[in-house]
Each structure stands twice: as structure tokens, then as C-alpha cells.
């Protein structure tokens, strides 16, 4: 079953205190940032902070994503070297415009894996799409590498690129969100939504979270730890959904124990995707509880 990635908490790579203690918040994944949250003059020291934070025992059991600088910037290659060596789970590429961006990053990751003796292919990737060009190329991007676990929307740069700004209902992002979601699903990988930047507006955040969940997204990047629980609650299944999922899984187990190839519930045939979805509902219920 695929790993749960509802919440990805951004941690600025130059902030020593946050890098030291963000494990206490228990998001599904932590995303250490070396890119936009880090001033040019701090790129080198942030890289080393993240390098060491990745190896902290306290982070052993949590999925660690690092957003590196673009590979064509003066920092990208050293970032990749540092985080791959430090055992990062997922490298997040910013500003992905084409499949070639993915392939280039992959070459660098592979080279470092070989140099440091890490199993080839063990470093996963995630691509952030932050431009109109990236949205147009999303289907190719999503299929560009077997390392890709998902693609994500980066809305702040995207709205600038399409010459608008973010609004409360997010109408300006609808096309990009749908495109990214379609591309991800077609490639069989995950789709992640952008950050909600006003950390103090809970109502607006929940509204947006419900919206992207309804569109089909797997999760969302977060900038404030307070948003984790709010998001998990949005993603928590309802009591009715949980009850239904249990019935489906019981029926599937019954069928399996009787050696039946076909599962049916209430007279309707249940196929594999439905069973898979029921498992996913229970997984979310286990992680988030029942929706309040």
C-alpha cells in the first residue's frame, strides 16, 4: 500500500531551532527547504544544517523530503550531494518545467549514489511544478522517472507566471490543480497541493484543504505546524466511510478464505480498486481518526 502523505511540513533550512525540533509535530513528511526560504548568503550553512539534521536519530522514522535549489543554480549540485549522502528519502525539485529537468536531476542523484555507495535508485524524487510551461508538460514530467513518487503544485511562482495572484477561492489555480492531478493519476503517482500562506486564517485553510481533497489530491504542503491537525482532520474519513470500508474488507476476507475469486457485497461485485480504496480509508482512519 502506498505511504500516507497528507501533510508535508516545510522547515526552513537555515532555521536551526526548527530543524532541531520539528519531529515533535508528527506530519506525514518533513520537507527541509534549501531553496526560497534560505537567503543567498545562508545557502552554504543551511545545506550543512540539513545534512546533519537528516542524520539525526530523532528523524529516523519520519519521511524526509528536501527541497533543493535548481540544478542549474550555483547551489543545486552541492545540495544534491549533501542530501543524497545524508540519506534523504525524497529530493524535491523546484521549478520543474520539463521532463528533461527530471532526467538531469536524476543523473546527478545517481552519480552521488554511486560515489557514496548508496543503493542506486533508493533516492526518490518529487517534482514541483511552478509555471505554465510546467503545467502544460505535467503528463511527461509525471512519467519521466521511476524515482518519482509524486508531483506538486508550487502556487506562489505559478500565479506570478500566469500574471495573477492568489484568491480565497483559488479559482486561478483550478486549471493547474486539475492538470497536475490528471498527470499524476495517469502516471500512477501522487499529487500534492501547494501551501496555504496565511498561517493565521484557519477557516480559509480548511476551506482550501477540503477543496483539494475533493479534487483528488493526496496531500498538501504546510508552512505552520498548527495546520497539520487541521489538515489531517479534513483527510480523516467519516464514520460512514469507515463503516463501509470495514464491510468491504470483511467481504474480501470472507471471499479469500473460501477460495472465491469474486467478492460481492450486498449483491454487487467488488473489484480490486474498490478494495484498495477501502484499505486506504482505514489507513487514514488509523492515522487521523474519524472526522470530527
Residues that bind another protein (CB under 8 A): 16-17, 19-21, 41, 44-45, 48-49, 51-53, 55-56, 78, 81-82, 85, 116
- 148 neighbors 184 (Cβ within 8 angstroms): no
- Closer Cβ to another protein, 59 or 158, answer by number: 59
- Closer Cβ to another protein, 116 or 186, answer by number: 116
At its nearest, how many Å lie between another protein and the CB of residue 34? Answer: 13
At its nearest, how many Å lie between another protein and the CB of residue 112? Answer: 9
Task: Count other C-beta atoms under 10 Å from residue 194's C-beta.
Answer: 27
At its nearest, how many Å lie between another protein and the CB of residue 10? Answer: 14
- Closer Cβ to another protein, 16 or 171, answer by number: 16
Q: How far apart are CA 34 and CA 42, in angstroms?
A: 9
- Closer Cβ to another protein, 55 or 133, answer by number: 55
Q: How far apart are CA 142 and CA 127, in angstroms?
A: 8
Burial of 167 (C-beta count, 10 Å sphere; 0-12/13-18/19+): exposed
At its nearest, how many Å lie between another protein and the CB of residue 111? Answer: 13
Residue owning grid cell 498527470: 183
- Closer Cβ to another protein, 75 or 192, answer by number: 75
Q: How far apart are CA 79 and CA 90, in angstroms?
A: 13
At its nearest, how many Å lie between another protein and the CB of residue 56? Answer: 6
Question: What residues does 29 pair with on adjacent strands?
Answer: 8, 63
Amino acid at each position: 500500500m502506498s505511504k500516507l502523505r497528507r501533510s508535508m511540513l516545510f522547515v526552513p533550512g537555515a532555521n536551526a531551532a526548527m530543524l532541531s525540533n520539528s519531529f515533535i509535530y508528527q506530519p506525514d513528511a518533513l520537507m527541509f527547504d534549501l531553496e526560497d526560504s534560505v537567503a543567498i548568503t545562508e545557502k552554504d550553512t543551511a545545506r550543512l544544517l540539513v545534512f546533519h539534521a537528516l542524520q539525526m536519530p530523532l528523524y529516523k522514522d519520519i519521511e524526509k523530503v528536501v527541497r533543493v535549489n535548481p540544478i542549474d543554480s550555483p547551489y543545486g549540485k552541492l545540495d544534491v550531494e549533501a542530501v543524497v549522502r545524508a540519506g534523504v528519502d525524497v529530493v524535491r525539485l523546484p521549478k520543474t518545467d520539463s521532463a528533461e529537468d527530471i532526467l538531469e536531476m536524476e543523473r546527478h542523484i545517481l552519480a552521488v549514489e554511486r560515489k557514496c555507495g548508496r543503493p542506486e535508485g533508493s533516492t526518490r524524487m518529487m517534482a514541483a511544478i511552478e509555471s505554465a510551461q510546467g503545467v502544460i508538460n505535467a503528463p511527461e514530467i509525471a512519467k519521466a522517472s521511476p524515482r518519482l513518487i509524486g508531483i506538486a503544485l508550487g502556487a506562489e511562482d505559478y500565479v506570478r507566471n500566469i500574471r495573477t495572484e492568489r484568491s480565497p477561492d483559488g479559482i486561478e489555480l483550478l486549471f493547474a490543480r486539475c492538470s497536475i492531478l490528471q498527470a499524476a493519476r495517469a502516471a500512477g503517482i501522487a499529487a500534492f497541493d501547494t501551501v496555504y500562506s496565511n498561517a493565521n486564517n484557519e477557516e480559509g485553510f480548511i476551506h482550501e484543504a477540503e477543496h483539494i481533497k475533493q479534487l483528488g489530491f493526496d496531500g498538501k504542503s504546510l508552512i505552520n505546524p498548527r495546520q497539520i491537525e487541521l489538515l489531517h482532520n479534513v483527510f480523516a474519513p467519516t464514520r460512514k466511510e469507515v463503516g463501509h470500508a470495514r464491510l468491504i474488507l470483511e467481504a474480501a476476507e470472507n471471499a479469500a478464505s473460501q477460495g472465491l475469486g469474486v467478492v460481492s457485497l450486498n449483491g454487487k461485485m467488488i473489484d480490486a480498486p474498490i478494495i484498495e480504496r477501502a484499505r486506504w480509508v482505514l489507513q487514514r482512519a488509523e492515522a487521523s481518526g474519524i472526522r470530527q
